[in-house]
Structure 1
Amino acid sequence: MGKLHQVIVGASAAGLAAVEAIRRVDQDCPITVVSKELLPLYSRVGLTHFISREVGYDGMRMRDDGYFDRMKVRGVMGVAAISVDPTARLVRLSNGENLAYDNLLVASGSHAVMPPIPGTDLHGIYPCITNNDATQIDEAIPRTKEAVVIGAGLIGIQVVDAFARRGLKTTVIEQMPHVMPAMADAVSAAMAEGALRTAGVTVRCGVRATELLGNNGQITGVRVESGEVLPCQLLVMAAGVAPNIDFLDRTGVTIHRGVSVDTYQRTSLEGIYAAGDVAETVDMFSGERVMNAIWPEALNQGRTAGLNMAGVATTYEGSMAMNVTTVIDTPIASIGMWNPPDGEPYQIREVRDDLKRIYRKLVFTGEQLVGAMLVGMIEDAGILHNMIRTRTTFTLTPDHLAPAPVRWGTVLRAVDKAGRV
């Protein structure tokens, strides 16, 4: 029997994590990676840092040009998956090739959602999802006086931060009551908004865009519900993302908001796996099915899928939210169940200084840390993430953890103390 042919659609975090997991187990099986984007392999996390000029083009790269050769991978780049025949185990590609697979990983990522309002076909409107988007936005900045960003989620707020660093007069519109609604509570969002306003950014929350206005095909402004027009020559649309899964139409694979997977990252169809932004997994605390389109979870899911594709049974312990960003020099991190439902079994400990923009909210069930919201001092975010994900208390009580950032030395002493008890 020949080696299994592993086909991966998508060459970002989940796809490359799967490649590396497969190669740890099997150095010789054929692997083909299909990506509708051309090389180089780059990190989407770096896009806004490129726009802000904090990193250059090479600073976005995840892997060098020799990566596929070293990993013995056939890269089919600049080519899209068009359809899948799960019975014949074939992927039809936009270059006309019918690619046979034994195992298929859908790691095709997501695309920006354009709201259903007039004017989205005007020039000067960009998402910020791909390398090409970031390049076009960067090239548009020198001829722009005023910019608008629609959507103040993680991507939108990072674009706003980049624009502020580039000196653009910027307005951000968010239809929810405060910025970063999926990763910040009202207190931390208010601190972020304060930092933005101090930097000259106009923040408009609870506001919905109703029309995009243009002249000679070029964006000139955004009309909001009140009728007010916000002038701009550059608009970034960051109103949400949706998974790239059109090529799975008519396969019969189970799809809800995303592709439904089990704890092995398997879909409902034999030999097809999914990971990253496309995958609907289970939240490790609530048990609810969630789409958690963040980089660390894409890596975890891709690794799990790759190991299972290579025959090493491995389970994914569930999705856990973790978002970290900096808003005009104010670092913010939210981890795990940072916004729990009211009442038992959750207890919340808070430390807050509005003037210094310092906020520390830790969520516990008993002595167990299950969530954290940090603003200003976030240096122990990694330690807290480890405690939450591994469900380990390290004998550190809420009284140890709540007042100020903890260090690994404190944790290790607690472990040593526990070991000697």
Structure 2
Amino acid sequence: MKDYLVLGGSAAGLAAAEAIRRKSKDAKIAIVSDEPGRPYNRPLLSFALGGTTPADQLFARPGQYYTSWGFDCLSGKRAEGLDPQKSHVVLDNGQKVDYDVLLVATGSSPAPLDIPGMNLEGVFYFHTKKDMNDVNACLKDTTQAVVIGGGLVGIRVADALQKRGVQVTVLIASPFPLSQIADEASAVMVADVLRARGVHLVTRASPVEIQGKNGSVAGMVLENGETIPCQLVVVGKGVVPNTRFLEGSGIQIRRGIRTSSQLRTNLPGVFAAGDVVETLDLAKGYPDLHALWPAAVEQGRIAGCNMSGETIAYHGTISCNAIRIGEFHMVSGGISNPPEGNGYQSIVCHSPKRRIYKKIVTKGDRIVGMIFVNDIASAGVIIRLIKQKRRLSSVDADLLAPRFNVGQISLVL
């Protein structure tokens, strides 16, 4: 009987452990999770902060989950090293855990911000349930907040804080929000909605210092010398894969862990899944990082099956994100804002009066990206086309009509 060790107690790790258990009721499965308590849905944290999702609905699994599945959970522990020659992992408490088959699903951490004042009370990243609870506890003494980062995390946190009655300023390094998933036209629509709700956006902004008073946040200083008064700072500038503990192990890492289509690493008996791995981007045509919850679940399931002796390929995914702010909806997928030239073309339907914006990006006779704003009913069809890399004989404006020509699209499915 093999000893299975899963590093990571979130989407990919749990999906893998459950897949292994379904294949073997007697297998010994240990899960190392750096967060204590029950597993929860990380994408719902900002909704819980804003009050639209009750805190008890954050949990991804029922109580007594680990016991009921027969998992040995090493909770509140973190991997600090991997020795593939001795087939063991060293934890942060010095404990060595042996394995026959290992899954690295250690996820990601917030991209660090290194400016003076980060150690003041009232400064938080927003990545874990503890972060959400800490920010929530701080709100009783907060009237003004600064959010650093105009990506999905930053915008969602800003919207949540605004719902809680806080005056929010968002500092955005780029010329417009959501620059990684939106183009300028759709980003302007996002910005207009946020401003209408009372959120202050500062673009091309560079924070240089967090000012304090009596050990707590008092203000944010920008590169241009402006100081924004605040009692709370939330940093949301993207994530980086948790791979530092793998240094010296010999595992191949580029931006993330490199894997085969079966999610095997170059080390015998070692697999990887989730935010920590590079997998094929079906729109770009090369491996990339995909910090996406659904992708992590699918990768974890496939990795778990392969750890149990099956041979299942993971075919890849695309970047796919959605955001809702009140009645405003946006879905973005694939190469949504391509560089000029290189064979990319865009088909756009924009109705400012109806607040509808649709864009499809093509390269050759393939759809490789999309942005839908407000009329998003057919977004899933386009995402499916991108993932399947179907070749289209023609792409015209009919595809962008307010009621998307699903019949025309279905001809190529």
What TM-score do you get using the length of structure 2 for normalisation? Answer: 0.94
- The aligned counterpart of 1:143 is 141
Query: Structure 1: which 5+ residue stretches go unaligned?
Result: none
Query: Structure 2: which 5+ residue stretches go unaligned?
Result: none
Identify if the C-alpha distance between structure 1 residues 40 and 396 changes in structure 2 by more than 3 Å, giving closer, same or farther. Answer: farther
- The aligned counterpart of 1:36 is 34
Deviation at 1:321, TM superposition (A): 0.4
Deviations 1:1-43 (A, max 9, x none): xx22221111111111212332343333221111010121101
Structure-2 separation of matches of 1:95 and 1:249: 18
The answer to whether residue 43 in structure 2 is matched with residue 45 in structure 1 is yes
- The aligned counterpart of 1:93 is 91
Structure-2 separation of matches of 1:367 and 1:85: 48
Identify if the C-alpha distance between structure 1 residues 392 and 72 changes in structure 2 by more than 3 Å, giving closer, same or farther. Answer: farther
Partner-residue secondary structure (3-state), 1:371: strand
- Is the contact made by 1:276 and 1:298 (CA closer than 8 Å) also made in structure 2? yes
- Is the contact made by 1:196 and 1:328 (CA closer than 8 Å) also made in structure 2? no
Deviations 1:128-171 (A, max 9, x none): 10000001111111210100000011111110110111121000
- Is the contact made by 1:161 and 1:328 (CA closer than 8 Å) also made in structure 2? no
Deviation at 1:339, TM superposition (A): 2.2
Deviations 1:180-222 (A, max 9, x none): 1111111111100000110111100111001110011101111
Deviation at 1:324, TM superposition (A): 0.6
Structure-1 separation of matches of 2:377 and 2:22: 32
- Is the contact made by 1:213 and 1:222 (CA closer than 8 Å) also made in structure 2? yes
Task: Select between 154-163 and 235-244 the one with higher mean Cα deviation.
Answer: 235-244
Structure-2 separation of matches of 1:267 and 1:93: 21
Partner-residue secondary structure (3-state), 1:222: strand
Coordinate RMSD, CA, aligned: 2.2
The aligned amino acid for 1:238 is: G
Deviation at 1:367, TM superposition (A): 5.0
Structure-1 separation of matches of 2:396 and 2:71: 48
The aligned amino acid for 2:111 is: V
Deviation at 1:395, TM superposition (A): 8.8
Structure-2 separation of matches of 1:29 and 1:385: 38
Partner-residue secondary structure (3-state), 2:62: coil
Partner-residue secondary structure (3-state), 1:119: coil
The answer to whether residue 131 in structure 2 is matched with residue 161 in structure 1 is no
Count of residues paired in the alignment: 413
- Is the contact made by 1:114 and 1:120 (CA closer than 8 Å) also made in structure 2? no
The aligned amino acid for 2:239 is: V
- The aligned counterpart of 1:331 is 329
Structure-2 separation of matches of 1:246 and 1:53: 35
Which residue, out of 272, 293, 296, partners 2:294? Answer: 296
What TM-score do you get using the length of structure 1 for normalisation? Answer: 0.92
Which residue, out of 127, 130, 138, partners 1:129? Answer: 127
- The aligned counterpart of 1:193 is 191
- Is the contact made by 1:50 and 1:57 (CA closer than 8 Å) also made in structure 2? yes
Partner-residue secondary structure (3-state), 1:91: strand
- Is the contact made by 1:191 and 1:354 (CA closer than 8 Å) also made in structure 2? no
Partner-residue secondary structure (3-state), 1:369: strand
- The aligned counterpart of 1:348 is 346
Structure-2 separation of matches of 1:405 and 1:300: 31
The aligned amino acid for 1:57 is: A
Partner-residue secondary structure (3-state), 1:269: coil
Identity within the alignment, %: 36
The aligned amino acid for 1:215 is: K
Partner-residue secondary structure (3-state), 1:284: coil
Partner-residue secondary structure (3-state), 1:236: strand
The aligned amino acid for 1:330 is: F
Task: Select between 286-295 and 174-183 the one with higher mean Cα deviation.
Answer: 286-295
Structure-2 separation of matches of 1:51 and 1:396: 45
Structure-2 separation of matches of 1:67 and 1:411: 46
